[in-house]
């Protein structure tokens, strides 16, 4: 049964307070979020940005400066539910720990991946879960902090930073409300801000909410100095804004950027933190891969192999009893076309995965083989070697009917089939006419029983 209580009754006042001893006079809050399962750029085209390896390298550079570094995460490590998303969530959380993150604010995707995993991570990982307006109910015990305090201490000075975090009710899927207790963000924030404002030098809010909601919170709670927000913000450099003295920033999506907000102790009044700079940094190839993160990514691929996740995918039946036969079978009659295809990038697509040792990754394999995810389609190299690469049937459909009767109409598709893999994430420069010219079949003298893409 769905249960809703007043916020002050459903959330326990749990907090984590840590003294940080340092000679640094500057504070750098580093923030990321909404990775949505993106561990690294897929490598399908040059110029891709993002990835935990580059992020780890940049945070290492920050640590070499004479500043107090506090990395925080806005939420939404996974993209959806399912076993591969669970593995990625665990790996991303390990990455946060190794990069020295102090907290992770709960997003709706984190909750949707499952309360059992969140419970496990909250009790075994050093990165604290944060949410000021969400608690997960039984049966899985979960440690969620309503706010987190970090205290800077040295021989002369001390100051505290308070981190609050909210999740917008508008983002929750109804299917998870049975084990989620959530109240309106402002109901949770008002008493906390009132309690903390005179005790800390800076209040930071991680607002997992649409931008409009974060702007409204900034208007109503000016005591908050920094709001890290975002939901479906693809270009975060365009979103930096100010509401009175509160700066609102976003780390964007899919781990492509990392943000930083630098503060300095006010010399006259040690209780005040003065903002110096706010920056959104694209994680491009100028940042070399962190060796620790690269090792973690290799562990991730090994986990996929150990669980044999590739062959455990759900297989959907094809319509009309069709089945895949493989490009070699097509080449018996269509030798000229087959020879041309084998020299295109489609004809060697599988080898691009084996070079990186990603041939056991279900997310990658579906666009580098034929029929993966369908009954009779690619399952593994050992079981369906004839279906490696982006073969004839990737574009023209399963060929069993045509094999049985060459007069059977076969092979007509439209460009939407191409855009399944040539999408904005993996092929942003895709132009149908230009790309079609790279794979267009040569004329055949005999047996023109197939049609081409229009």
Domains of the chain: 8-301 (3.60.21.10), 312-439 (1.10.1130.10)
- The region of weakest confidence among 57-71, 217-231, 400-414 is 400-414
Start-to-end C-alpha separation, the chain: 53
Task: State the pLDDT confidence band at 389, using cuts at 50, 70 and 90.
Answer: very high
76 pLDDT exceeds 50?
Answer: yes
247 pLDDT exceeds 50?
Answer: yes
Residue 8's pLDDT is what? 42
Task: State the pLDDT confidence band at 46, using cuts at 50, 70 and 90.
Answer: confident
Nearest to 14 by CA among 186, 114, 136: 136
Residue 422's pLDDT is what? 92
User: Per the structure block, which two tokens stand in for 206?
Assistant: 């991680």
Nearest to 128 by CA among 164, 160, 154: 164
Element holding 129 (H helix, E strand): strand 128-130
342 pLDDT exceeds 80?
Answer: yes
pLDDT in tens, 298-330: 999 999 999 999 999 899 999 888 999 999 999
6 pLDDT exceeds 50?
Answer: no
Residue 451's pLDDT is what? 47
Task: State the pLDDT confidence band at 153, using cuts at 50, 70 and 90.
Answer: confident
Residue 283's pLDDT is what? 97
Q: What is the mean pLDDT of residues 339-368?
A: 95
Strand runs labelled E in 311-404: none
DSSP state of 222: T
Q: How many helices (H) and strands (E) does the chain have?
A: 15, 16
Concatenate the DSSP letters of all residues of 423-434 into one string.
STTT-TT--HHH
Residue length of the chain = 454
CB atoms within 10 A of CB 206: 31
Residue 15's pLDDT is what? 56
User: Per the structure block, which two tokens stand in for 450?
Assistant: 């197939």
- The region of weakest confidence among 16-30, 65-79, 114-128, 243-257 is 16-30
Residue 408's pLDDT is what? 76
274 pLDDT exceeds 60?
Answer: yes
User: What average pLDDT is seen over the chain?
Assistant: 89
388 pLDDT exceeds 50?
Answer: yes
How are beta strands 26-32 and 67-73 bridged, if at all?
parallel
16 pLDDT exceeds 90?
Answer: no
Q: What is the mean pLDDT of residues 108-134?
A: 94
What is the torsional sign of CA 340, 343, 344, 347? positive
Q: What is the mean pLDDT of residues 187-216?
A: 96
Q: What is the mean pLDDT of residues 173-194?
A: 92
Cβ atoms of 256 and 287 closer than 8 Å: no
| Spatial distance between the Cα atoms of 108 and 115, rounded to a whole number of angstroms | 11
Q: Which residue has the tokens 């907000």?
A: 261
| Spatial distance between the Cα atoms of 141 and 119, rounded to a whole number of angstroms | 6
How are beta strands 15-21 and 147-153 bridged, if at all?
parallel
């Amino acid at each position: 049964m769905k249960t809703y209580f007043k916020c002050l009754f459903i959330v326990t006042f749990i907090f984590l307070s840590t003294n940080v001893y340092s000679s640094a006079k500057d504070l750098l809050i580093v923030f990321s979020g909404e990775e949505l399962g993106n561990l690294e750029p897929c490598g399908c085209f040059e110029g891709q940005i993002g990835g935990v390896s580059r992020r780890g390298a940049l945070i290492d550079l920050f640590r070499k400066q004479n500043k107090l570094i506090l990395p925080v995460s806005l939420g939404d490590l996974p993209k959806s539910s399912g076993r591969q998303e669970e593995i990625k969530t665990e790996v991303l959380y390990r990455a946060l720990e190794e990069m020295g993150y102090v907290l992770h604010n709960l997003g709706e995707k984190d909750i949707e991946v499952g309360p059992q995993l969140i419970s496990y991570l909250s009790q075994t990982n050093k990165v604290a879960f944060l949410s000021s307006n969400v608690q997960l109910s039984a049966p899985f015990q979960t440690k969620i902090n309503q706010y987190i305090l970090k205290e800077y201490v040295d021989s002369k000075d001390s100051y505290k930073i308070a981190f609050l975090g909210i999740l917008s009710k508008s983002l929750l899927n109804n299917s998870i409300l049975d084990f989620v207790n959530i109240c309106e963000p402002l109901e949770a924030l008002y008493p906390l801000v009132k309690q903390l404002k005179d005790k800390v030098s800076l209040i930071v809010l991680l607002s997992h909410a649409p931008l409009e909601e974060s702007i409204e919170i900034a208007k109503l709670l000016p005591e908050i100095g920094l709001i890290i927000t975002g939901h479906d913000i693809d270009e975060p450099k365009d979103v930096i804004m100010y509401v009175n003295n509160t700066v609102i920033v976003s780390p964007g999506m899919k781990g492509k950027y990392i943000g930083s907000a630098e503060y300095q102790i006010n010399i006259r009044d040690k209780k005040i933190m003065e903002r110096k700079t706010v920056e959104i940094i694209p994680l491009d190839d100028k940042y070399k891969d962190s060796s620790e993160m690269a090792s973690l990514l290799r562990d991730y691929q090994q986990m996929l192999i150990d669980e044999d996740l590739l062959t455990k995918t759900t297989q959907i039946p094809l319509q009309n009893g069709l089945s895949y036969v493989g490009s070699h079978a097509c080449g018996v009659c269509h030798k000229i076309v087959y020879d041309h295809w084998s020299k295109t990038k489609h004809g060697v697509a599988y080898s691009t995965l084996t070079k990186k040792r990603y041939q056991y990754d279900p997310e990658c394999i579906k666009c580098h083989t034929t029929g993966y995810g369908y009954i009779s389609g690619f399952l593994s190299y050992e079981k369906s070697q004839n279906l490696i690469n982006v073969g004839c049937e990737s574009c023209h459909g399963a060929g069993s009917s045509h094999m049985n009767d060459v007069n059977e109409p076969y092979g007509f598709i439209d460009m939407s089939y191409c855009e399944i893999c040539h999408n904005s994430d993996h092929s942003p420069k895709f132009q149908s006419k230009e790309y079609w010219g790279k794979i267009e079949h040569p004329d055949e003298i005999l047996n023109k029983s197939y049609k081409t893409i229009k």
